[in-house]
Chains A and B, each alone.
Chain A
Amino acid sequence: MRTMPTTLPVLLRNVVLERAGKTLLGPINLQLEASGRTVILGPNGAGKSLLLRLCHGLLSPTLGEVCCATLGSPTRAEVRRRQAMVFQRPVLLRRSAIANVTYALGLVGIRGQLARSRAMEALDLVGLASLAERSARVLSGGEQQRLALARAWVLQPEILFLDEPTSALDPGATQAIEAAINRFADNGTKIVMVTHNLGQARRLADHCLFLAGGRIVESAPAATFLAQPNSPEAAHFLAGEQGAYLKERDDDPDYYSV
């Protein structure tokens, strides 16, 4: 367990993101609480990834503000240092696995032997200790994503953003990633994850946010939301993901299945 977080809760007030005169996201009013695992769901183009990037300071809102507790905007290095993000496709430096982790530590001023031992601990945690000296870029997809998690782990972030971290992985690799994510949560890190995988949402979510058309349509405890969504959009989305689309087609006498 860590000391009191200084960047949580994350508060979004009337946040709007526009590009070339088009509103991509917002207005959004949202408070991300200090603990728990929040899963963001929604159809493609709903603005889920943009929302993560706004919370992590990779994008600045056109209107409104993102405020991380007492430290303010996440575009400040001070705030981002207490956050971490794992992307859909991990971006790994063209170096060894362990050098990828020690690089992140170097940026926060931890170098030398201490950095190496911390990096080894983190690699061990995600089951990559034996591949420490291997080139990061030749690891498998699942290993690369676990390495990205180890790199986030050494930073001991107060909040971890994950953008569809398992969308390109097989079930075995997915399971390893989910286990690692839970280690973060157990350690007191706030989890905010975008996923398309409802099974994953069921396994990991404490709280669900449902986005559609750039707005938050629904926000509810996971169990409630996944069993009985309130909004028609969410109901449609959940049903679609569960294969109702195919069922509907099966009932259509003009539809030939092959």
Chain B
Amino acid sequence: MLDAFASAFALIISGDAELLGIVGLSLRVSLSAVFFASLLALPVGAAVALFSFPGRSGVIVVLNALMGLPPVVAGLIVYLLLSRVGPLGPLGLLFTPTAMVIVQSLLIFPIVAALTRQIVSDLWEEYREQLTSLGASRLRAIPTLLWDGRFSLITALLAGFGRATAEVGAVLIVGGNIAGVTRVMTTAIALETNKGNLTLALALGAILMTLTLLINGFAYGVGEFSRRRYGA
């Protein structure tokens, strides 16, 4: 057991190519997913916070519920869409990193949208009269509120990123865990543990944990910085 830890540590230090490849792909896929999901989720979350429309309560409940969407279900849905007989089958995306980005975006979107709605709606409560007085329409208020909520929103993005890097079911189903192509940290850990290759599994686990710690530390730092600099 101790031996496994020691060799895992040595593997990280040595900068093993396979290890680096897996970590690199994980980061690439998850960061892309955060980017594309947020592109849509930030304005959508803000719009739900600011505008009233029929079915708004339903949308909020669904968004909140989907924060807990089981990754395997998301994986299954995207698999059906991308499989050869599915509606997007002709694109030939199944078992590619693009498919993994799609499925992780699906997982991240409700998290970022729901948290954005909460953050923007609190801020709107505070700004509403002043912005109306200055002549900003609700539509115009959206970029203002997103910018003024930037430090809280970073936390929402990091929550999405954390979810994406940690899940295994969705990327396994649509990515297929193909070595060197779609193998990411979580799927590699699952496979290597099964195979009994604890060294690689532990090394990846250690990196994943470190990454999680760094993300949370960063989120905390951002919060502290904004409190000191902006008093909020």
A and B interact physically = yes
In the assembled complex, B230 has its CB within 8 A of some CB on chain A:
yes
Selected from B133, B137, B232, the residue in CB contact (under 8 A) with A94 is B232
B198-232 interface bits toward A, Cβ cutoff 8 Å, 1 = contact, 0 = none: 00000000000000000000000000001001111
Selected from B132, B147, B232, the residue in CB contact (under 8 A) with A58 is B132
**How far is B231's CA from A137's CA once the two chains are assembled, in angstroms?**
6
Q: Report B34 CB to chain A, min CB distance, Å.
A: 23
- A103 surroundings in chain B (CB, below 8 A): 134, 144
Interface size class on chain B is 10 to 19
A-B contact count (CB 8 A): 49
Docked-complex contact A135 and B230, CB < 8 angstroms? yes
A121-153 interface bits toward B, Cβ cutoff 8 Å, 1 = contact, 0 = none: 000000000000001011000000000000100
- A87 surroundings in chain B (CB, below 8 A): 129-130
- B135 surroundings in chain A (CB, below 8 A): 77, 80-81, 107-108
- A56 surroundings in chain B (CB, below 8 A): 133
- A138 surroundings in chain B (CB, below 8 A): 229-231
Say yes or no: A80-B133 contact (C-beta < 8 A), given A93-B148, A103-B144.
yes
Tell me the dominant secondary structure on chain A's binding face: mixed
Chain A residues with a Cβ closer than 8 Å to the other chain, count: 23
**How far is B66's CA from A108's CA once the two chains are assembled, in angstroms?**
40
Selected from A80, A91, A107, the residue in CB contact (under 8 A) with B127 is A91
In the assembled complex, B136 has its CB within 8 A of some CB on chain A:
yes
**How far is B151's CA from A137's CA once the two chains are assembled, in angstroms?**
14
**How far is B132's CA from A85's CA once the two chains are assembled, in angstroms?**
10
**How far is B148's CA from A137's CA once the two chains are assembled, in angstroms?**
12
Q: Which of A145-165 contact B (CB under 8 A)?
A: 151, 155
**How far is B133's CA from A151's CA once the two chains are assembled, in angstroms?**
11
Q: Report A136 CB to chain B, min CB distance, Å.
A: 8
In the assembled complex, A194 has its CB within 8 A of some CB on chain B:
no
- B134 surroundings in chain A (CB, below 8 A): 103-104, 107, 151, 155
Docked-complex contact A137 and B230, CB < 8 angstroms? yes
Q: Which residues in A have some Cβ–Cβ distance to B below 8 Å? A: 53, 56, 58, 77, 80-81, 83-85, 87, 91, 93-95, 103-104, 107-108, 135, 137-138, 151, 155
Can you identify 25 A-B contacts, CB atoms within 8 angstroms? A58-B129, A80-B133, A80-B135, A81-B135, A83-B133, A85-B129, A87-B129, A91-B126, A91-B127, A91-B129, A91-B130, A93-B127, A93-B144, A93-B148, A95-B148, A103-B134, A107-B135, A107-B136, A107-B140, A135-B229, A135-B230, A135-B231, A137-B231, A138-B229, A151-B134
Please list the 6 inter-chain residue pairs (A to B) with the smallest Cβ-Cβ separation, ordered nearest first. Answer: A91-B130, A137-B231, A94-B230, A94-B148, A85-B133, A138-B231
